Chain A
């Protein structure tokens, strides 16, 4: 019984990790708490649905579409909303409030277009079937989620650690002004990061849509709350923290549902969040140092 929960927890944790990665990237590089990340996640899911259900294309195309659509949305949000606020040197909680507005717009627009009810991916989108890996039963969906997530996380780690681009991002995370003085095109990298982070969110949306077999306009909201908890747990702006935190939350939730009861499920994330903030606000990997201008 416990072993079965392992696969369950791992796939859920992977999705949480992907979502949290996007969220923490935006905080780490742009310094903004993007409360529209949940809406972007939702848009990715619906984009994939449209591609599969209305355009009849296969799942891999839908995943690519989700990344592109969500990524573009993220880039647009950066250009239209976040950039003007940067230029104005707004105190850093103001952009957060602006992203709340964006989320409201997106969530309710989705509701207007798609209706408030649950939608599903058409039957046959993902092959049915259960595989046996290392003595555990794994559905195709779970396997897909785990493999894809780890692949994306590996790519992200390589980019951040081994490429010039990643180095530039880390420089900006330390101090945008210093990075700019070093000749780094900070604005372009903000745009790219917004795109990439949103794309990750979009993929997470599709994966959850498949895992839970349900899409609804407000699906981003509970995800956002958990994303916040994960990022605080792992340390805001820290990539390893987001990954480990996401996995940890997946396990914590699944185990608590199995052993305590399903009503406590949502409380787990927030209970942890509250505790961590009281005991070690910087999370597992975060630094207490405030970001310089």
Chain B
């Protein structure tokens, strides 16, 4: 038992970060499933983190309330900017959402009285337990799994396949995209809220471009063909820096290199159900 406690003492944070990273990767999966490259989830994570932290620190809210606040706040913002932004497509959507992320960061920097500005918020109560994170991941996975198997999931696939044709099938493309965007924001906010009460300090620099890129990488690395993909991507990207600690300066170089190699050689990501079924079919034919 003491072996486990030692392990947890050293790696507990990594495991919990793995959980919150999984949530982040799943949040961007939702928008990618609709064919949208929206890179605002780091900003939504930040909004959720600050909202939840402020609730517990300034208003002595209970943890569940803080978490709820951490989900509702980014969802509201997403609903607000979603309407004009989701009209854009492809590159322009990616850029607009990236830009939005920076706007959020600068807003945080300039509202010192509320957010502590560049110095960030310190002393957030460390309320996150391992089971909070596990519960959150399991619940989100369950919900997304069921959504995938329903008409909503099918609508996502249709929109990703051909937006115009999807609209002509009776699918309300605008609302469905909004749903993915807002839900993704809520999940990212939840990750932020959990993370804030884990690390007890948050600052505006954590929710910028780099974090946005990291979230995207996790999803693309793992593959968006199935729900396991984002989780696998999150695991790899969380564990890799730890595993590469020995490389010190070069470990981030290796990170970048891995990203390039995956894009070049495993375009659908690591978890690619289509590739697996091709392998299985080829295997079957050989035996026949």
Contact = CB atoms under 8 A, between A and B. Distances in A.
Contact of B259 (A90, A93, A104, A108): A104
Contacts of A269: 102
A81 interface: yes
B257 A101 contact: yes
B215 to A, nearest CB: 12
A85 interface: yes
B216 A97 contact: yes
7 pairs of A and B residues whose beta carbons are closest in the complex = A104-B256, A101-B259, A101-B260, A267-B106, A105-B256, A112-B249, A108-B252
A290 to B, nearest CB: 8
A278 B100 CA distance: 11
Contacts of A101: 256-261, 263
Given A97-B263, A98-B260, A98-B264, A229 B84 contact: no
B96 interface: yes
A277 B85 contact: yes
Nearest to B247: A112
B192 to A, nearest CB: 20
A264 B107 CA distance: 9
A47 to B, nearest CB: 19
A281 interface: yes
A132 interface: no
Interface residues of A, number: 43
Interface in B231-260: 249-250, 252-253, 255-260
Interface of B: 37, 84-85, 88, 90-92, 94-96, 98-100, 102-103, 106-107, 109-110, 209, 213, 216-217, 220, 249-250, 252-253, 255-261, 263-264, 267
A168 B255 CA distance: 38
Given A97-B263, A108-B249, A274-B100, 4 more contacts: A101-B263, A104-B256, A228-B99, A267-B102
A101 to B, nearest CB: 3
Interface of A: 33, 81, 84-85, 88, 90, 92-98, 100-109, 111-112, 221, 225, 228-229, 232, 236, 263-264, 266-267, 269-271, 273-274, 277-278, 281
B92 A232 contact: yes
B232 to A, nearest CB: 17
Overall SS of chain A's interface? helix
Contacts of A108: 249-250, 252-253, 255-256
A104 B249 CA distance: 12
A85 B264 CA distance: 7
Contacts of A274: 96, 99-100, 103
A228 B98 contact: yes
Contacts of B253: 104-105, 108-109, 112
B64 to A, nearest CB: 34
A100 B259 CA distance: 8
B263 A278 contact: no
A103 B256 contact: yes
A81 B103 contact: no
Contact of A221 (B84, B209, B267): B209
Contacts of A229: 99
A27 B90 CA distance: 13
25 contacts: A93-B90, A93-B94, A94-B267, A95-B263, A96-B94, A97-B216, A97-B263, A101-B257, A101-B259, A101-B260, A101-B261, A101-B263, A103-B256, A104-B255, A104-B256, A109-B250, A112-B250, A225-B209, A232-B92, A263-B106, A264-B106, A267-B102, A267-B110, A277-B85, A281-B92
